[in-house]
Amino acid sequence: MKTFQVPEFYRSPIISAVKQYRKVQDPRKKDNSPTILDFGPVQFFVARHFGFCYGVENAIEIAFKAIDENPGKRIFLLSQMIHNPAVNKDLNEHGVQFLQDTHGEQLISFDVLTPDDVVIIPAFGAPLNILDILDKKGIQTEKYNTTCPFVERVWKKSEQIGGTNHTIIIHGKYNHEETRATFSRSAKHSKVIVVKDIEDSKRLAAYLEGNKTQEDFEKEFSGKFSDGFNIKTDLQKVGVINQTTMLAGETEEISNYFKTVMESKYGKENLDKHFADTHDTLCYATNENQDATYGLLNTEADLAIVIGGYNSSNTSHLVELCERKFPTYFISSEKEIESKTKINHFDYPNKKHLSTSDFLPDKQPLKIIITSGASCPDSIVDAVMLKINSFFEGVSAVDAVLKKLSTTHD
């Protein structure tokens, strides 16, 4: 796989050594057990896969290349390149300005743009209408387009099933940048609707089965379907694609659910005419990170810490998985850990910040699960571990710990 030129301050001595160890120990990536970093009073169980993925490293390389190649020019990002505050802050400090927020609301008017300006397209991609606006202003976006190739793969799948007149069901968050970009392209080829989860899917199936009205549909799915969507004609043939950062198990469940519904309505012998079997369109990194998190669930630990941007979809799903077994704290960086007795963290479902006292159990060795989202620099993971270590006496030196790397399967 390609090696990217990512700024050195995103790398880390500890995690780089861990990843290199696992690459040698498990080159075929078949072992999802965590790596153990035993510092004595604290043991960290580090996920097999986490942190920067191909798409994120590609985006960061292109963004910093744009900065280096365009001294004196105004450089804009359409929106957050990735969902990590540290990375976006770094870009800001290098003079990059954001045109929109993560919900597509304008921060800087497109009216100020000139053909001499540089506009970077984020890893999530961009809706076609936005690209059209930039093109009409004479701005060339191709050179610094950081759209993840795995997102583009989903777009190709939507074109494929749209070409056979299947309505495209997107499993995703309708206001997420990636979903908005995928929606705009899918709508070129067919009718489109977005479902967030299996509950949304069951509500949509009520219309597919003819149990509810067009008026009900337009109220219930307002803002989540393409223009001119008709429940009587546009739900006869369907196929499921997804936002690449959703839970793989949920996408599979939703796809199998609609397959069952269509089979029930049209008969098994006619299923191929009414359901497009699209398989999984999640990216490899999302799959690996989620599988590695399932590997963490086989560990006996006292708590879990998940690190990433609070608006990061893929990170939120890692939190969701860890919460099935451990007290779990979702933090953006080591700065959220105020002391041995206080941590500030994020409640993703309710979108609110929390503060918890006595989050570290009074025991030794303390066993902590640790992982991060695909847009989180490894250097932040290092910083979180070192911050926790600072609360204890008799902690082993990093070099000594790295010489004794092991996994739960060793």
What CATH number does the domain containing 312 carry?
A: 3.40.1010.20
Domain that holds residue 126: 54-136
Each residue's pLDDT expressed in tens, for the chain with a length of 410 residues: 566 566 766 778 899 999 999 999 999 888 999 999 999 999 999 999 998 878 888 888 999 999 999 999 999 999 887 778 888 888 999 999 999 988 889 999 999 999 999 999 998 999 999 999 999 999 999 999 999 888 999 999 999 999 999 999 999 999 999 999 999 999 999 999 999 999 999 999 999 999 999 999 999 999 999 999 999 999 999 999 999 888 888 898 999 999 999 999 999 999 999 999 886 666 767 778 888 999 999 999 999 999 999 988 889 989 999 999 999 999 999 999 999 999 999 998 899 999 999 999 999 999 999 999 988 999 999 999 999 999 999 999 999 999 988 655 55
**Partners of 357 in the β-ladder:** 342
Closest CA to 204 of 130, 254, 164: 254
Q: How many domains does the chain have?
A: 3
Claim to verify: residue 158 and residue 126 sit in the same structural domain: no
pLDDT at position 248 is: 81
Claim to verify: residue 158 and residue 278 sit in the same structural domain: yes
- 71, 103, 136 — which closes off a domain? 136
Claim to verify: residue 169 and residue 268 sit in the same structural domain: yes
Which sequence positions are flagged as catalytic? 178
Q: Is residue 270 part of a domain?
A: yes
- 282, 298, 332 — which closes off a domain? 282
Pairing of strands 192-195, 167-171: parallel
pLDDT at position 313 is: 84
Closest CA to 244 of 313, 198, 186: 313
On whether the CB atoms of residues 379 and 9 are closer than 8 A, the answer is yes
Claim to verify: residue 380 and residue 276 sit in the same structural domain: no
Q: Strand order of the sheet with strand 75-77? A: 97-98, 75-77, 118-120
Claim to verify: residue 73 and residue 37 sit in the same structural domain: no
pLDDT at position 217 is: 97
**Partners of 167 in the β-ladder:** 238
Claim to verify: residue 275 and residue 185 sit in the same structural domain: yes
